[in-house]
Amino acid sequence: QVQLVESGGGSVQAGGSLRLSCVQSGDDIIGYRMGWFRQAPVKEREGVASITSGGDTTLEDSVKGRFTISRDNAKNTLYLQMNSLKPEDTAMYYCARVQRRGAYYSDVLSPKTYNYWGQGTQVTVSS
């Protein structure tokens, strides 16, 4: 059974940095697209970043130049390096994985594209 567990969240001041990790158990991540999403109170879940098994990345416009998504397939781990954090980045952050290995997906930042989800890790940025 696939399980995703996030860690690395916390409270930081604006301008600070955090590195989120997501470890998958129950299967290899090789061949699967994975992504990071976030959800603030009373807002819908939104895509932040996505990465193919080969390392091609897609970033949401508001995080370009500040966030970096990466993965270590040998460690079954997905990362999100977040720099220059802003108060509007405050949210619960989730990692996710798609269902089909090697498949093409047209909307890689849509939550509907992903089938497996972690429980989330909270990121709070104060001004």
> Which residue, among 78, 60, 62, has the nearest Cα to 70 in the 3D structure?
78
Task: Locate all alpha helices (DSSP H) within 3-126, ordered by sequence.
Answer: none
Q: In the prediction, which pLDDT does 6 show?
A: 98
Per-residue pLDDT tens digits of the chain, which is 127 residues long: 999 999 999 999 999 999 999 999 999 999 999 999 999 999 999 999 999 999 999 999 999 999 999 999 999 999 999 999 999 999 999 999 999 998 999 999 999 999 999 999 999 999 9
* Residue 26 three-state SS: coil
Ranges of beta strands (E only) in the chain are: 3-7, 10-13, 18-25, 34-39, 46-51, 57-59, 67-72, 77-82, 91-97, 116-117, 121-126
pLDDT in tens, 25-35: 999 999 999 99
Report the half-sphere exposure of 40 (CA within 13 A, side-chain side): 8
